[in-house]
């Protein structure tokens, strides 16, 4: 079974046993998380969500992604070079049950 779920304003295409990286959730490793905002299940599409369908997942770990380097530069203005970095927190989830 395949499904499309909505987590944190983004949509993810999942199947049983797949692992996804979502925006950081308030939970610990080993917790079970239920997603009730299911947009599509196999070929059945909701309007906007399907009722009575949940996707269950297990939290594997919370962490931070690799550092993204942001470099701002204005042409012919040497004094405004700015180099910044950012690490986005995430939660890794393994999908255990769709139904």
The full set of domain ranges for the chain reads 2-98
74 confidence band (pLDDT: 50, 70, 90): confident
Q: Is the pTM of this model over 0.75?
A: yes
Paired tokens of 13: 């295409």
pLDDT tens profile 32-73: 999 999 999 999 999 999 999 999 999 999 999 999 998 888
Q: Between the CA of residue 73 and those of 68, 69, 77, 85, 87, what are the distances in Å?
A: 16, 13, 8, 15, 21
* Three-state SS sequence of 33-63: EEECCEEEECCEECCCCCCCCCEEEEEEEEE
């Amino acid at each position: 079974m395949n499904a499309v779920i909505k987590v944190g304003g983004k949509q993810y295409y999942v199947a049983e046993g797949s692992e996804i990286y979502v925006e950081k959730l308030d939970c610990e490793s080993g917790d079970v998380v239920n997603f009730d905002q299911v947009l599509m299940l196999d070929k059945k599409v909701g309007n906007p969500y399907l009722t009575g369908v949940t996707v269950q997942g297990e939290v594997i770990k919370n962490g931070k992604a690799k550092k993204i380097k942001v470099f701002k530069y204005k042409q012919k203005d040497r004094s405004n070079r700015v180099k910044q970095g950012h690490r986005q927190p995430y939660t890794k989830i393994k999908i255990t049950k769709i139904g």
